[in-house]
Amino acid sequence: MFKNVIVRVPSRSISEGITSVDYGTPVYEKAIVQHENYVSALTKCGVNVTVLGPQEEFPDSCFVEDVALCTSKCAIITRPGAESRRKEAILPDMLEALEGFYENIERIEAPGTVEAGDIMMVGDHFYIGESARTNREGANQMIAILEKYGLTGSIVEMKEMLHLKTGLAYLENNNLLVAGEFKTAPEFEKFNRIEIEMNEAYGANCIWVNDTVIVPEGYPIVQKKIEDLGYKVLVVDTSEYRKIDGGLSCLSLRF
């Protein structure tokens, strides 16, 4: 169960965020409303939400998931693969927030790169995607740190998705949403895999928070498949964040 969540309010510079898609430019006013609704949904799941202020210098800084991995034993400050995001991982307010919750804080060091959007937690095991943003050195450092605290990790090779969790969402109880290249990945054969077609692949980026699953708006097939598993579902519009490669999981640290 999660007790705490950290989020960051998007900045006006969000329109300059990194993107690999052509869905238009994020509208700041809409992004703010969507973020407020996101925080509201999290609150309904019974967690305490820490809201950090916007950082105009960093257009992607609302995607706090990438800059730290929060485990049951420690927090690990990452070293983002996107160079423009490196300093996000050492912003004083984020470090202060993490220090308020964790005695043990570790760091990924150069030449390793890790973005925690590439890391999926299943119990005490962490699947780490080797992607354009997370390299083998960073993944190995992450596994070594996890093992120091009695946790485990393994590397998943990727070829297509931006981040591991772009096409995966673990919903607890062995249920795993899978899209794209992960449908046939041998690492996930033991799970009850709920396959999501590419036309709804963005909808696969859901988050489980204390037996409720928050689902992006506009993906009715994904929503129905999750409801059919017996979960309570909350729907949140993240369309402005999709324009800069962001989804539901990217917008928060959950622990």
pLDDT digits (tens, 9 = 90+) for 174-195: 999 999 999 999 999 999 999 9
- How far apart are alpha carbons 247 and 250 in whole angstroms? 5
Q: Domain coordinates of the chain in residue numbers?
A: 4-254
pLDDT (tens digit per residue) in 13-66: 998 988 877 788 999 999 999 999 999 999 999 999 999 999 999 999 999 999
Q: What percent of the chain has pLDDT over 90?
A: 95
pLDDT band at 227 (very low <50, low <70, confident <90, very high): very high
Instruction: Supply the pLDDT for residue 231.
Output: 98
Asked if residues 61 and 91 have their Cβ atoms less than 8 Å apart, the reply is: yes
Active site residue 62: no
This prediction has a pTM of 0.97
- Statement: residue 242 has pLDDT above 90: yes
Answer yes or no: 250 catalytic.
Answer: yes
Q: In the predicted model, what is the mean pLDDT of residues 121-132?
A: 98
What pLDDT score was predicted for residue 22?
Answer: 78
Q: Which CATH architecture has domain 4-254?
A: 5-stranded Propeller (3.75)
Query: How large is the average pLDDT for residues 62-78?
Result: 98
Q: Write the DSSP assignment of 164-231 as a string of letters.
A: GGGSEEE-STTEEEEEGGGGG-GGGTTSEEEEE-GGGGGGG--EEETTEEEEETT-HHHHHHHHHTT-
Name the pairing type of β-strands 125-130 and 152-157. Answer: parallel
User: Given 45, 62, 74, 163, which residue is catalytic?
Assistant: 163
